[in-house]
Amino acid sequence: MKTVVLSHGAAKDLDALAEDAREIVISGLARYAVSGEGDVKALSGRKGLRLRIGRYRVLFDEDAQTILAIYIGKRETTTYARR
């Protein structure tokens, strides 16, 4: 099991989501942290990964023990421009 850490920006992004969306994202992150299950792909053109949770995306970096979430939001054209 890995520890999930939210950057300041990711914490603000998560707080800005509607309550039901927030719960979906939190459960998706927890599932990935515990079992490694989820739709994860490497970002092209830069370092990092993305986790797809329905219409939401979590951009993150990880090591053997920690998942550092950098951005959380809906999949839009600006999602991958941030960071």
Each domain of the chain, given as residue ranges in start order, spans 3-74
In Å, what is the CA distance from 35 to each residue of 24, 31, 56, 72, 83?
Answer: 16, 6, 19, 20, 26
Q: Confirm or reject CATH 3.30.2310.20 for domain 3-74, answering yes or no.
A: yes
pLDDT in tens, 24-37: 999 999 999 999 99
pLDDT in tens, 29-63: 999 999 999 999 999 988 999 999 999 999 999 99
How many Cβ atoms from other residues are within 10 Å of residue 50's Cβ?
18
Asked which of 33-37, 67-71, 78-82 is least confident by mean pLDDT, the reply is: 78-82
**Ramachandran area for residue 17 (φ above 0: left; ψ -120 to 50: alpha; else beta):** beta
Give this prediction's pTM.
Answer: 0.86
